[in-house]
Structure 1
């Protein structure tokens, strides 16, 4: 399983928004793009998709921009990837007539791996990522002292 560029950029943008969530101020696309080194036009498309998925909301006007639709601890990584990539948790019951025994065994293992990956993604929220980032920043600061 590999994280697509689209998902990585979206998560980075959402991390930036989560960092400033407490201020209640919307962030403009150019601010987020500059902080995370994401192309403006691409970020605009990603944020539109995330808005349609209910993860962010937009605010119009001179002080407009984008905000998280909910608290960072209520937005899981799974939800973000599901919004962008349309992830799908299959149970294995769907393919009642497999091609052969070998395909059936491979499919069972693949489904188990997908379910494990999805469980990890559901476990972590944007808040968890912010906390991990902040603790690593503290370690970096301590390292240089």
Structure 2
């Protein structure tokens, strides 16, 4: 499994917004794009999707831009991926009953893997990602001193 470019860019943009969350100021697309090296037009589409999904809110006007709709410690990586990718690991029992024994065994293993991945993604919030990044930055600084 790999994270899509779309999801990676969105998480990077949200990480930038989580970093500036305390200021309460909205961030403009060009600011985020420049900081995270994301194409402006693509980022615009991603942020619109996240806004429709309730992850972000937008503010109009000259000082407008995008803000997190909730605190960074309340937005999980799983919620972001579900919003962008439409992830849904549930399978109906009726679907399993129509499959062969071999394919249903493979499906059960895949469902278990998806549930394990979802468990990890549900555990991490934007705040956690910020903290991990900050601790790695400190290690890098200490290493070069």
- Structure 1 length-normalised TM: 0.97
How far does the alpha carbon of each residue in 1:111-138 deviate from its partner, in whole angstroms, 9 at most, with x for none? 0000000111000000000000000000
Paired residues, number: 145
Distance 2:86 2:57 in 1: 19
Counting only pairs closer than 5 Å after superposition, residues 23-102 of structure 1 correspond to structure 2 as 23-91=23-91, 93-102=93-102
Pairwise CA distance, 1:100: 1.3
Task: Evaluate the alpha carbon distance shift between residue 14 and residue 5 of structure 1 in structure 2; reply closer, same or farther with a 3 A threshold.
Answer: same
Q: What SS class does the counterpart of residue 95 from structure 1 fall into?
A: helix
Distance 2:93 2:108 in 1: 10
CA contact (8 A) 1:92 1:111 kept: no
Pairwise CA distance, 1:103: 0.5
Distance 1:123 1:94 in 2: 30
Pairwise CA distance, 1:93: 2.8
Q: What SS class does the counterpart of residue 103 from structure 1 fall into?
A: helix
Distance 2:94 2:108 in 1: 11
Q: Which residue of 1 aligns with 2:125?
A: 125
How far does the alpha carbon of each residue in 1:53-112 deviate from its partner, in whole angstroms, 9 at most, with x for none? 000000001100000000000000000000000010315635242431111110110000
Q: Which residue of 1 aligns with 2:136?
A: 136
Structure 1 stretches of 4+ moved >3 Å: none
Q: What SS class does the counterpart of residue 50 from structure 2 fall into?
A: helix
RMSD: 1.0
- Structure 2 length-normalised TM: 0.97
- What are the ranges of 5 or more consecutive residues in structure 2 without an aligned counterpart? none
Distance 2:115 2:92 in 1: 10
